[in-house]
Structure 1
Amino acid sequence: MSEVRKKLHGSMILVALLLCAALPHTASASSPKASQGIPSERLQRLHEYMRKATDANSYLGGVTLLMRNGNVVDWQAYGYSDLARRVPMHKDAIFRIYSMTKTITSVAVMMLVEEGKLSLDDPLSRYLPGFAAPQVLAGGTAEAPQLRAATKVPTLHALLTHTAGYPAGLKGDEQAVKLMERVDPHGASDLRDFAARMSRVPLAADPDTRFGYDGASLELLARVVEVASGQSFESFLQQRIFTPLHMRDTGFSVPTAERGRVVDLTIMGKDGKLALASTESARHPGVPLNAYTSGAGGLYSTAADYARFAQMLLNGGSLDGQSLLKRETVALMMRNQLTMLHPPVTQFSDAEGFGIGGYVVLDPVRRGQLGSVGQYGWSGAASTTYTIDPKEHLVAILLLQHVPREDGGKDLPRISRPFYNLVYQALQP
């Protein structure tokens, strides 16, 4: 064997070893698909769809990963990772997962609940100053607000389930949103500063009276984790979740040497062509997404890393001998927590409730999508999504990097629904 071929052979072995190290330890990259109830011929439909969805006229590229019965049965990279479409997408590409961070933050909170350092019915004011006497915007405008005392104080449970009453973009929230924008909590330098700013924001509704998806609640919970644990939020996640689960590429920033693996973040321009998003992270991939360590949406991750986290939840809180949560705690997280509401559903679907950290499917038929009752998951603002299905022993992950337009203009079609339909059509008992 020539010296060049020896070096090439050695490099290929190293890459293979690195990819295997990134896989869940309980999984095998070569697990027979048929033995896990996923025939290869059925998966071809998914592969063909994803290749078309990442062709020259669509998304740059993406990574998909499917696990069943604790085994990786399909892990694919499609398209390209750069706007110039010169760098092929790789399975270990790094994505901004945005709101998929929320599930991780929720796990951190529940770990402290198990340790007796927090309780779900604790008022937020027990841990953070300025929240003991919340007020609700009852009328008027942002310039001349009419405030009243809230009927109750927000609890940690309310924050976890998006029922605390903070402005959430719902009809009637317009003036409350303006008041929050004046305080500019997202301009905070750290979580302590974020909480201090939010203490001056009135609620848009009384706690436990509606589901209103907001990011502020999870940022406040991240600060609660710091107060209750005595650690920075970043240190807590690293020591208590990422290191035990071997989530080597998950964090609030990406090491300089690894930033070439971060996928370009795109938007659809008014000219109908993809362009780089205008965020600092799009211009400088790998830099922190926020000045503070955002528990609502600040993490970067990979498909392999998030698969390990999701499999831990599917297993009931443990993976490869590492126990993060008790089985009963995970079962609680995956149970609909909106029973105080009528109907007990989210603002997004009348077929979905909300657990702790993610949606809970109540009625797949009404939802109009293949799936199971009790299916759990969430998505991120830049077209990332995951689901955990205890009934089917399934984890499915789709990672893209595109921010959909909010002005109703021409954009790429959302592909999460057909993705999941194609995943479920491939399943056999």
Structure 2
Amino acid sequence: MQVDAKGETTDLDRAASDRLKALLAAVNSGDAAVMQAFIDANGVSEPVPSGGYSPLPLVGKLLDLHRRSHGLEFVRMAKLEKGKATAVVQFRLTGHKHLLTIQVENAAPYRIANIPPALLVPTKLSLGSEAARFEHIGAYLDTVAEADLFSGVVLIARDGTAVFERAHGFADRERRIPNTIDTPFDIASTTKLFTSIAIGKLVEQGKLSYEDPLARFVPDFPDRQSAERIKIKHLLSHTAGLGNQFGPAYFNSIHELRSPQDVIDLVDREAPKFEPGEKWAYSNVGYLLLGLVIEAASGKTYYDYVRENLFAPAGMTSTSFPHQDQDAVVMAQRYDVKLDGQKLRYVKQEKYAQARGTSDGGSVSSAPDLIKFANALETGQIVKPETVRLHSDPKPELGSPKYGYGVMSIARTGEPLIGHGGNAPGVCTDFGSIPGTPYTVAVLSNSTMTSCIEVTSHILQALAVPKAA
């Protein structure tokens, strides 16, 4: 807290505190008109949407906070400094504590400059036996599913064998088709695990090296000189300095995109934003290029190579890259909440799905298939154990302290999950292993692009190894 020369709270911080209390009152009203009045009275500006995806307007975000919390209880002010107020609040629905923050402008009338998303506060759980932990997880899932906050599947395996399975909600809301444990879901960027392991397989087959320049396989992207500087290891670790494809050209053509090359053809050929190998910046374009590398090195399409060398050896019968407009694939439809007048409702998100997924994301898989994939990696059925370790280890020498070759440490309330997540409109996936435990977790959801995050956080807090005091 900032104080003036007399030791009193400054006007700036007093304004931030008052605005935060007003925000709580607006959210707890559950009324869009009250929330909009709060926004108007405090001059809250909203960022202009970029690309083709339109996020919720601020009033929709406040309605969604009320939807997810069923109301907020003020616990205490955590920090008040330089016009930034952060309070600990408790969700009435789950009892979970979150950090709610606002930032006000430096001068009167101290309009609100930013309201970031509420962040879950880690909770120490003392649950004893495995049965008690699973009972705790199950009770939480029942609560959020009954409130229509989670539609999807949770599968937890111990030493490769499923020991906890839950399916909630609908694969198709309009037709009232329920999710089952075996329902396939779009898994978005979790697909990058497949692309990464396919590269590892090609290395083992002697068809490429991690040190190879991109130019060996894709000679002119984004230009010849850059393609010589960018190495396969840089693409795998998101350290090539490349960006993403989500601009107007991509969204205007999204229903015509059926291969990595189709997407690359739309990407602006900008030079790397930094010297490859110096720092980390998440890049879908990098993984699209890896799809082209796989095709050039193997002589097969990306889809044929991963099917023959990954999915078939692992016995993954529900995993594929279907043509969304051609193949009759029974799978979970994608939904996200949208503002309809002064209410939120779930809306199907097929307009944000490519005609076919590519090497950066958009494959379809089920929770049992992901566990099969993890088991196949563990037992060396796809690649050697040393390849799995190499890909799993972070690459700080490349400026990537938390991301290896297609494998990341997913941070969820301080507890890591080693694997990969995936988020897109109507898609939320977390998949990986919990360090120091025998557990592998698959959380697949088709209700909003963030709906799996707190579910995964809750699972990790229940199952993670307790830290020493």
Could you say which residue in structure 2 is the equivalent of 1:223? 292
Opposite residue 46 of structure 1, the aligned amino acid is I
Shift of the alpha carbon at 1:414? Answer: 4.0
* Pair member with larger Rg: 2
Could you say which residue in structure 2 is the equivalent of 1:419? 459
Could you say which residue in structure 2 is the equivalent of 1:326? 384
* C-alpha separation in 2, matches of 1:151 and 1:92: 42
Cα gap change, 1:416 to 1:69, in 2 (>3 Å): closer
* C-alpha separation in 1, matches of 2:236 and 2:147: 40
Shift of the alpha carbon at 1:181? Answer: 6.6
Cα gap change, 1:232 to 1:401, in 2 (>3 Å): same
Q: Indicate if the aligned counterparts of 1:93 and 1:302 stay in contact, CA closer than 8 A.
A: yes
* C-alpha separation in 2, matches of 1:234 and 1:118: 18
* C-alpha separation in 2, matches of 1:370 and 1:178: 34
Could you say which residue in structure 1 is the equivalent of 2:261? 192
Cα gap change, 1:82 to 1:425, in 2 (>3 Å): farther
* C-alpha separation in 2, matches of 1:219 and 1:152: 17
Q: Indicate if the aligned counterparts of 1:125 and 1:132 stay in contact, CA closer than 8 A.
A: no
Could you say which residue in structure 2 is the equivalent of 1:87? 177
Shift of the alpha carbon at 1:228? Answer: 0.5
Other structure's SS at 1:93 match: coil
Q: Using structure 1 for the length normalisation, give the TM-score.
A: 0.69
Higher strand share: 2
Shift of the alpha carbon at 1:162? Answer: 0.5
* C-alpha separation in 2, matches of 1:338 and 1:312: 27
Could you say which residue in structure 2 is the equivalent of 1:173? none
Other structure's SS at 1:131 match: coil
Shift of the alpha carbon at 1:389? Answer: 3.3
Cα gap change, 1:376 to 1:186, in 2 (>3 Å): farther
Q: Indicate if the aligned counterparts of 2:243 and 2:286 stay in contact, CA closer than 8 A.
A: no
Shift of the alpha carbon at 1:397? Answer: 0.9
Shift of the alpha carbon at 1:279? Answer: 2.4
Shift of the alpha carbon at 1:78? Answer: 2.0
Shift of the alpha carbon at 1:423? Answer: 3.5
Per-residue CA shift, 1:221-241, capped at 9, x if unaligned? 011111100111111111111
Matched, 1:50 2:141: yes
Q: Indicate if the aligned counterparts of 1:131 and 1:199 stay in contact, CA closer than 8 A.
A: no
Matched, 1:359 2:395: no
Aligned residues: 334
Q: Using structure 2 for the length normalisation, give the TM-score.
A: 0.63
Superposed, 1:54-69 pairs within 5 Å as 54-59=145-150, 61-69=151-159
Q: Indicate if the aligned counterparts of 1:359 and 1:378 stay in contact, CA closer than 8 A.
A: yes
Could you say which residue in structure 1 is the equivalent of 2:93? none
Shift of the alpha carbon at 1:178? Answer: 6.7
Per-residue CA shift, 1:202-230, capped at 9, x if unaligned? 32222112211121111110111111001
Cα gap change, 1:155 to 1:231, in 2 (>3 Å): same
Query: Relative contact order (alpha carbons < 8 A, sep ≥ 6): 1 or 2 greater?
Result: 1
In structure 1, stretches of 5+ residues that fail to align are 1-36, 135-148, 170-176, 282-288, 346-352, 406-410
Other structure's SS at 1:383 match: strand
Cα gap change, 1:399 to 1:299, in 2 (>3 Å): same
Of 265, 278, 283, the match for 2:349: 278
* C-alpha separation in 2, matches of 1:128 and 1:165: 16
Q: Indicate if the aligned counterparts of 2:430 and 2:453 stay in contact, CA closer than 8 A.
A: no
Q: Which moved more, 1:70-79 or 1:103-112?
A: 70-79
Matched, 1:297 2:366: no
Query: What is the aligned-residue identity percentage?
Result: 25
Cα gap change, 1:302 to 1:280, in 2 (>3 Å): same
Cα gap change, 1:331 to 1:181, in 2 (>3 Å): same
In structure 2, stretches of 5+ residues that fail to align are 1-127
Q: Indicate if the aligned counterparts of 2:240 and 2:286 stay in contact, CA closer than 8 A.
A: yes
Matched, 1:376 2:405: no
